[in-house]
Amino acid sequence: METKILSRQIEVSPLNEMLNYNGKYGEYGGAFVPEPLVKPLEILSNEFEKLAVDPGFKLEFIYYLKHYVGRPSPLYFAKRLSDFVGSRIYLKREDLNHTGAHKINNTIGQVLIAKRMGAKEIIAETGAGQHGVATATAAALMGISCKVFMGAKDIERQALNVKRMELLGAQVITTTAGTATLKDAVDAALTYYVQHPDSFYILGSQVGPHPYPKMVGYFQSVIGQEARNQILSQEDRLPDSIFACIGGGSNSIGLFSGFLNDPEVEIFGAEGGGLATPQNTAATLSFGKPTIFQGTRSYCLVDEKGNPRESHSVAAGLDYPGISPQHAFLKDTGRVQYFPVTDNEAVNAFNLLSRLEGIIPAIESSHAVALATKLLKGKNRLAIVNLSGRGDKDVEREF
Ligand SMILES: *Cc1c(COP(=O)(O)O)cnc(C)c1O
């Protein structure tokens, strides 16, 4: 199995097509927010629509993606993994981005909007600290002060990322409400935003009220745009299938967006399936119900009374009871197939990729690798797996 020589210049650009959505994805999406947020979100939405088609803004975004983030990220032919699985597998290397994951694509995009809007302060929530670090990085780059809300339990578990955010000049604010994890940090950040609507809230995934899912999808679509160009120049054809892991849904929508209109490309999402006991039904799309949660209507994990409940995954980035409204729509239409991947399967893929390719993947990304290895075994297909982030943050964990 050989890699063909890269023959074409690859453009770094978001997909204008992602702007066709009006905040609704079928029956999902919308903005279900307290009164004081209605106006600020409307202003944000108008500003985003204007900037997304402004050539000057696009050039500035592309400039930072190229020279600061290090895009385009390579599409790497994983030869030893391919031989092992019996299919031709390419890895989209988002792990090589500055700060080590895809999240920086989105925080750079949103911080540039904040700058244009003259925001005095950036706020964000974080679970494992990855989005907090990406936000603190973008805020430092633009010289805007930054507050990151984080659950007390996560602060304890993610000491290294807390230290990184502080080094980057951000103020980390502890929340002790609820279970003191991500869901509670989002609530705390939203409460602060209601009290300070002149601050700019940078959301980390394709969730929350309109216009966030649309903005995040637009900024992350560079992944799919690049991957499509890259596979065409490296293989002269489209892949048979593509794979990504699903937390809130941003790295996956980034990759998928480049191939949604190619019916011959099969699309697969890997959800955090936890321990996969009958009691632990942690995968949102597989076991959730359409519900209004944190500003949007989408699938959500709920208890018997219909209230949002905790999710459990070995991967902090997949441990969220909600999900992108666009993925909810893509599930219902059948365009994308979603499968839960257990903690064990993900840990095996984490070890496998490290040994076969010398690439230590984030435990989140390992879910996509696990699903791909399972479904592609002996099938001789051409596939792309999105490697959403690097696994340095996971090496000290006892899996
Ligand atoms: C945050 C994170 C995820 C999950 O978030 P999405 O919005 O679903 O992409 C996946 N992988 C990595 C490395 C992350 O940091």
Q: Give 178-202 pLDDT, tens digit per residue.
A: 888 888 898 999 899 999 988 999 9
Ligand 1 centre to CA of 317 (Å) is 5
As a whole number of Å, the CA-based R_g of the chain is 19
- Six token digits for residue 328: 């909810």
Reduce the DSSP state of residue 323 to 3 states and report it. coil
Domains of the chain and any CATH numbers: 34-68+103-213 (3.40.50.1100), 70-100+221-394 (3.40.50.1100)
Name the closest-CA residue to atom 7, ligand 1: 250
Residue nearest to atom 1 of ligand 1 (CA): 317
**Ligand 1 contact via 388 beta carbon (within 6 Å):** yes
Task: Give the Å distance between the CA of 318 and the centre of ligand 1.
Answer: 7
Give catalytic residues, as residue numbers.
103, 125, 388
Q: Which residue is it, tokens 């797996």?
A: 385
Would you state the pLDDT for residue 5?
A: 38
What is the length of the chain?
399
Ligand 1 centroid to residue 2 C-alpha, Å: 30
Other CB atoms within 10 A of residue 33 CB: 19
What pLDDT shows up at residue 334? 97
* Residue 2 confidence (pLDDT): 42
Tokens of residue 345, six digits: 């399967």
pLDDT of residue 318: 87
- Residue 397: what pLDDT? 79
Which ranges in the chain belong to alpha helices (H)?
35-52, 55-64, 79-85, 103-116, 130-142, 152-157, 159-167, 182-195, 212-235, 250-256, 284-287, 325-333, 343-357, 363-376
The string over 276-289, giving b where at least 16 C-beta atoms fall within 10 Å of a residue's C-beta and e elsewhere, is eeeebbbbbbbbbe
pLDDT for the residue 6: 39
Cis amide leading into 72 (omega within 30): yes
Identity (one letter) of the amino acid at 180? A
* Burial profile 10-28: b = 16 or more Cβ within 10 angstroms, e = fewer: bebbbbeebbebebbbeeb
- List, for the chain, all residue ranges whose pLDDT scores fall below the cut of 70: 1-11, 277-281, 398
At 8 the pLDDT is 41
- 262-314 pLDDT, tens digit each: 999 999 999 999 987 665 567 888 889 999 998 999 999 988 888 888 788 88
Answer for the pair 350, 277: CB distance below 8 angstroms, yes or no: no
Chain CA centroid to CA 348, Å? 22
Mutate to test the pocket of ligand 1, among 94, 250, 366, 392 (most ligand atoms within 8 A of CB): 250
Closest CA to 106 of 262, 233, 216, 269: 216
Q: Give the CA-trace dihedral at 140, 224, 266, 283, to 10 degrees.
A: 10
- Whether 130 lines ligand 1, by a CB cut-off of 6 Å, is yes
